[in-house]
Amino acid sequence: MARTLDPRRLLLPGALATLVLAGALLGALGEATTDDLRQGDGLAELDHPVATWLSQHRTGWLTTIMRTITTLGSPLGVTITTGLVAAAVCWRTRRLSPVLLAAIVLGGAELLETVTKHLVGRPRPPLSLRVPGVSASGFSFPSGHATLAAAGYGLIAVLLTRYAQRTAARAAVWAGAAAAAAAVGFSRLYLGAHWLSDVLAGWLIGAAWLGLVVTTATVLTRRVQAARTVDEDG
C-alpha cells in the first residue's frame, strides 16, 4: 500500500470520505448508545461489577506493569510509535504516503474520540475504584487510550505486513498489534480510569476508522491505477 498510494490524489479525498461516513455512523448510533449508558442497559450492566472486581484483586507488581503499559500506550505514546514506524516505511519506500496515512488515521481517531466524549458526556469511574495517583480527566466514553491503540497499532500492522512474505509472519504481526491494543485497554480498566464499555467502544471506533481509511485508500488506488493503465494503452 505504501508503495502504490499517491498522497496528493488519494489520501485527502479518502480522509474526507471516511470522516463523513464515520460521522454519519456516530450520529445514527449516538442516541441509542447514550440512552443505554445513562440507564445502565446492555453492555453497561457489566461496568460496575467488572470495575469492582478488578479493584478488589490488584497486586503491587501487576499495578506497576499496568502503569507502565498505560503510559507507553497513551495517545501521545501511540502517536510517537506509529509515527516512527511510518517514517521508517516512508524512508524505505521513498514515498510520503505512509506518514500522511498515519496522520489521517491518528488524527481522525482522536477527533472521533473527542467528539463522542462530548456527545455522550459520561462521568469516569469514582475515585474509590481508581488506583491512587492515576490521573484521568474529562469524560469517560470512549477510552482515548483504547481508540488510539486500536487505530495506531492496527496501522502499524498494515504497514509492516507488506514486508512479511509468509502467512505465519503476517499473522504474528497482527497478533502483536492486537495484543498491544488489548494490553492498553485492559490497563485502563485495571487502573480504574475507565469502564468496560468505554474500552470496548474505543477499540471499536479505532478499528472502524482504520478500516474505513484503509479501504477507501485501497479502492481509490485501484481506480487510479486502472485509469493510468487505460491512458497508457490508449
Q: Using one digit for the tens of pLDDT, what is the confidence trace for 166-180?
A: 788 888 889 999 999
Indicate whether 90 belongs to any domain.
Answer: yes
Indicate whether 153 belongs to any domain.
Answer: yes
Domain count, the chain: 1
What digits encode the pLDDT tens for the residues 111-159? 999 999 988 888 899 888 889 888 788 888 999 999 999 999 999 998 8
- Provide CB contacts within 8 A for 198, sequence distance 6+: 122, 140, 141, 142, 143, 146, 188
Sole residue written with cell 521508517: 88
pLDDT at residue 24, rounded to an integer: 52
**Residues, the chain:** 234
Indicate whether 48 belongs to any domain.
Answer: no
Indicate whether 15 belongs to any domain.
Answer: no
Kind plus residue range of the DSSP H or E element containing 51: helix 47-55
Indicate whether 23 belongs to any domain.
Answer: no
Distance CA(146)–CA(156), nearest Å, equals: 15
Mean pLDDT of the chain: 80
Catalytic annotation present for 194: yes
> Which entry of 48, 57, 118, 194 is annotated as an active-site residue?
194
Q: pLDDT grade, residue 90 (50/70/90)?
A: confident
Q: pLDDT grade, residue 29 (50/70/90)?
A: very low
pLDDT at residue 128, rounded to an integer: 87
Indicate whether 189 belongs to any domain.
Answer: yes
| DSSP state at residue 27 | H
Q: Which domain holds residue 105?
A: 60-126+139-220
Dmax (CA) for the chain in angstroms is 71
Residue 232 C-alpha cell reads as: 497508457
Distance CA(86)–CA(194), nearest Å, equals: 29
